[in-house]
C-alpha cells in the first residue's frame, strides 16, 4: 500500500475514533512536507505496515510493550515523584505489544535520518552501537530510571544549561 492510500485509510479510521479538526489535519500534512524527519515522525501508521516486509527477519523477535512510534525526539527530561530530574522516553501514545526489534530499528532509522538532515550529529554506526548498548544496559539493570541529577552530571548540565523557548 502506498503512503497516500495508507494515510487516507488511517485518517478515515482515526475519524471514526475521535472528532477530527480539519485545519489541524491540514497543518499536520503541511508539516509532513517540510522534510524527511517530520514526515517520518508523522507516519508511524505507515511504518507499522511496511516494517514487517522490510525487516521480515526481525518480526519473530519476542514481543514486549513497545513504544511503537519511537524516534530520537521522543526523549526528554521530567521530574519524577521524588522530584529528581529523570531522562528517558516521554511519548507513549502508540504503545503496543510488538517485537522489541521494532523500537530498536525505528530509533536507529530516526537517528540516521536526523544525521542526514543535520538535526543530529552522530554517525549511524555510532548511533546503532549506543542504542544497542543502552538497551542491553537497561535490561541488565531491570529498567531502573535514568536519574540525571545523581549519576549523569554531564547530561544534567546539558538539560539545564540550554533552556530553550517553548516554541
| pLDDT digit string, tens, across residues 53-100 | 999 999 999 999 999 899 998 888 888 899 888 888 888 888 999 999
Is residue 95 a part of any domain in this protein?
Answer: yes
> What's the pLDDT tens digit per position in 141-165?
888 878 887 677 777 777 676 555 5
Query: Which of the two residues, 11 and 120, has the higher pLDDT score?
Result: 11
pLDDT of residue 162: 57
Task: Tell me how far apart the alpha carbons of residues 33 and 128 are, in angstroms, rounded to a whole number.
Answer: 27
Is residue 6 a part of any domain in this protein?
Answer: no
pLDDT of residue 167: 52
Is residue 20 a part of any domain in this protein?
Answer: no
Task: Tell me how far apart the alpha carbons of residues 107 and 131 are, in angstroms, rounded to a whole number.
Answer: 8
What is the pTM for the complete model shown? 0.84
pLDDT of residue 88: 87
Short-list 59, 48, 166, 36, CA closest to 114: 36
70 and 88 Cβ atoms separated by less than 8 Å? no
Is residue 77 a part of any domain in this protein?
Answer: yes
Task: Tell me how far apart the alpha carbons of residues 146 and 86 are, in angstroms, rounded to a whole number.
Answer: 6
117 and 83 Cβ atoms separated by less than 8 Å? no
Number of domain units in the chain: 1
Q: Could you list the residue range(s) of the whole structural domain that residue 83 is in? A: 60-161
Is residue 99 a part of any domain in this protein?
Answer: yes
Residue 102 has pLDDT above 90, yes or no: yes
pLDDT of residue 50: 94
Strand, coil or helix: 20: coil
Is residue 43 a part of any domain in this protein?
Answer: no
Strand, coil or helix: 79: strand
Is residue 120 a part of any domain in this protein?
Answer: yes
74 and 66 Cβ atoms separated by less than 8 Å? no
pLDDT of residue 166: 56
Short-list 99, 75, 77, 67, CA closest to 157: 77
User: In whole numbers, what is the pLDDT of the chain averaged over residues?
Assistant: 88
Is residue 14 a part of any domain in this protein?
Answer: no
Query: Which of the two residues, 143 and 166, has the higher pLDDT score?
Result: 143
Amino acid at each position: 500500500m502506498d503512503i497516500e492510500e495508507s494515510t487516507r485509510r488511517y485518517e478515515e479510521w482515526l475519524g471514526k475514533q475521535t472528532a477530527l479538526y480539519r485545519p489541524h489535519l491540514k497543518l499536520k500534512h503541511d508539516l509532513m512536507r517540510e522534510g524527511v524527519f517530520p514526515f517520518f515522525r508523522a507516519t508511524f501508521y505507515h511504518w507499522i505496515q511496511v516494517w514487517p516486509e522490510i525487516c521480515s527477519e526481525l518480526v519473530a523477535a519476542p514481543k514486549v510493550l513497545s513504544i511503537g512510534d519511537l524516534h530520537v525526539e521522543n526523549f526528554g527530561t521530567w521530574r519524577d515523584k521524588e522530584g529528581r530530574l529523570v531522562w528517558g522516553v516521554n511519548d507513549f501514545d502508540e504503545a503496543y505489544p510488538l517485537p522489541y526489534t521494532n523500537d530498536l530499528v525505528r530509533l536507529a532509522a530516526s537517528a540516521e535520518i536526523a544525521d542526514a538532515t543535520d538535526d543530529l550529529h552522530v554517525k549511524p554506526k555510532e548511533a546503532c552501537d549506543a542504542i544497542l548498548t543502552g538497551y542491553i544496559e537497561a535490561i541488565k539493570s531491570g529498567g531502573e530510571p535514568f536519574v540525571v541529577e545523581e549519576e549523569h552530571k554531564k547530561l544534567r548540565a546539558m538539560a539545564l544549561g540550554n533552556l530553550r523557548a517553548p516554541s
